Amino acid sequence: MSEREQVEFKNYYIAIFNVNYLFQGINQSLFAVIIPIYLIQFIGVLDASKLAFMGSIISLPWIFKIFYGILGDKFGFKKIGRRRPWIISMVSFSGVLWIILGLNNMITAENAISVFTIMGILIFLGVAFGDTIIDGLLLDITPKEKLGRVSGLNWGLRSVGAIAGGPFFALFVVNGGLDVPSLFIIIGIITILCSFLTVLIKEPTVYPEAKIGKHLKEMFDNKRDWKTYGFALFASIVDAVGILFVSIFILINMGLLSSSGTSLSLPSGDLNIYLVNGYITMIISIGVVIGAILGGQIADRITRKVSVYIAYIITTIALLLMMVPLEWPILLTFSTLIGCAIGWRHSSYAAVTTEISKQHPEMGSTYYSLCNAFANLGGTLGLSLTGIILSATASYLIVFLFLAIVSNFGLGAFLMLKKEDYEHKIIKEK
């Protein structure tokens, strides 16, 4: 028996994973919510196109996750392992950069955009690298019967951090008197501490040898893996679109946004809309966590297939309910169901793909990052297709109908998989 199989999984490992994934999301959310407003206040007048350019540039490190997976699978330390050294060094690197940003000594109105763009790339390099390697650590040590619950909850908390982290800390800035540079320092310190918590996790020090050329080729030369990539492609196709358009649709129904065709405007100029939108995303986040927990429980305690089926049923019903002409408080309730659908669907997706990843023991982290690359591609595809549909019809109701239909493509891809490849109970019986 290999050492990997002998490592005992402690329940407190779950909490360590949870806080690391949560702060991965918070790191992303700060660049989406806090930093744009801070730059406008710091500079005075800011071209929106520069913000868009900064956002597109700093997201580049996420494209290269497969390469981080290869490094994490191939290189490590015999007495320490191949995961924790990468996690601690790269995530701490991001934390140190947040602290440097908080010191505010090198930032001026003239170089602020350049500084935040460069620092953003480097921060996200550390976060994306750490995210990839901690996925690998999770795969290495989590028992099959707990994979759905652990991976689902981790993804749910990362989503909460990404969706609600920025609005949550914005409340402290707006109402609590916390200045933004101090917030950067606090985030940096907590990010570093989160990475060092992984010291408490025992990881294997003996692994199957990763032969990059051979094992990468194996990920592309069989039908099972291509079917898995197809499932991954459609797993997140409605996530970003769903959250974005549900929020906008509710704001329109509340009268805080005016809609004429595809054009949106602020009728009253009331900037409290930022806080209202933050509350909406927090409500969606509650649904995400509930869905992620329930989806993982069903995947582990009953079957992966049942969890996937329920996820797609909830997704379809939730999107169709948004088409019903109702008052905004009821739509706000339905938004929780949208969040639940997103969390449940990704929880069941994670249970399936992490199980299949274990069939590539030499490069499990690389394989899982490849699945997530297809999932990210699906999210981009969903945004693009929705933009085309909305431009052509100028109807949010048709958008929700389209999303309800296209989301089920993932179920079709899932049905092509063999249950003995992803059902942990069947694999355990073998």
CA gap 419, 430 in Å, rounded: 13
Q: What 8-state DSSP symbol labels residue 361? A: G
Q: 76: pLDDT confidence band, cut at 50, 70 and 90?
A: confident
Bigger pLDDT: 56 vs 11: 11
* CB distance 101 to 31 below 8 Å: no
Q: Is the pLDDT assigned to residue 266 strictly greater than 70?
A: no
The number of beta carbons lying within 10 Å of the beta carbon of residue 136 is 26
> What sign does the CA torsion over 384, 390, 393, 396 have?
positive
- Count other C-beta atoms under 10 Å from residue 226's C-beta: 14
pLDDT tens per residue, range 337-389 = 999 998 999 899 989 998 899 888 888 889 998 998 888 888 878 877 888 88
User: What pLDDT, in 10s, does the model give residues 127-175?
Assistant: 999 999 999 999 888 888 888 888 888 888 888 888 788 778 877 887 7
Helix pair 328-357, 223-235: axis angle to 10 deg: 160
Specify the residue for token string 């408490």: 200
Give the pLDDT confidence of 224-243 residue by residue, as tens digits.
999 999 999 998 888 777 77
Tell me: pLDDT of 6 over 60: no
Please report the pLDDT score of residue 395 as a whole number: 84
For 277-326, what is each residue's pLDDT tens digit? 778 878 888 898 899 999 999 998 999 999 999 999 999 999 999 888 88
CATH class for the domain made up of 211-430: mainly alpha
Q: Which amino acid is at 310?
A: I
So where are the chain's domains? 1-207, 211-430
Do 1-207 and 211-430 share a fold? yes
Domain 1-207 architecture = Up-down Bundle (1.20)
Rg from Cα positions in the chain:
22
Q: Which two tokens stand for residue 253?
A: 């129904």
